[in-house]
Amino acid sequence: MSCVCILTPVVIAAWPALSATVVAAATSMGYTIVKGAQDIAETLEESDTAAKSVEMEIANSQVVTERLGRDQKIIVARDGVTITFARDARGRASLCVAGEGTEAELRAHGQALSQRVVQQYVYDKLKHELQARQYLVVEEELDENRAIRIKVRHWEN
């Protein structure tokens, strides 16, 4: 072994890529995606009348978007908890968690999902970049802590 480094991810993505990542992460955690104007309106109304809601953001994130994409949202729901992802005024990925439960419980839901989104983003980006460099992924596994372990090999002249 020659060196070991630890990196904190920075999420920089266009809205379509981020929303695809949110969908993948949310469905892997059992959330359903709220689709259709009627469903979205009903879900947002329920969120507005929910006992509590918590606003959070994904740290080190930047959502690159066109002017038309500024009001885009993606809404996911599970067990009476609704999480709305959007781009905030500063361009960061933000989420609003609404539903029954204490503020700490809602924050825990939001944190768990936002962490899964970041993990999914890093996984997708690394796989794409490794493939572009023609590095060979020889092993891949999900451990008991839900960490993804990837072994990569390549040869140099």
Partner 1 sequence: MKQREFEVLIGPDGTVEVQVRGFKGPGCLEVAKWFERVVGELQSQQLTSEFYDPQEQVQYRIDQRH
Find the binder of partner 1 among 2, 38, 49, 134 (CB under 8 A): 2
Find the binder of partner 1 among 10, 14, 41, 64 (CB under 8 A): 10
Give the nearest distance from C-beta 129 to partner 1 in angstroms: 5
Give, as ranges, the residues between 45 and 74 that touch partner 1 (CB under 8 A). Answer: 60
Tell me the C-alpha distance between 28 and 100, whole Å.
22
DSSP state of 71: T
Side-chain half-sphere exposure of 10, counting CA atoms within 13 A: 3
Other residues' Cβ atoms within 10 Å of the Cβ of residue 84: 21
Judged by CB under 8 A, does residue 115 bind partner 1?
A: yes
CB nearer partner 1, residue 51 or residue 136: 136
User: Coil, strand, or helix at residue 117?
Assistant: helix
Judged by CB under 8 A, does residue 144 bind partner 1?
A: no
The answer to whether 73 and 85 are in contact (CB under 8 A) is yes
* Residues at the site binding partner 1, with contacts judged by CB under 8 A: 1-10, 60, 115-116, 118-119, 121-123, 125-126, 129, 135, 145-157
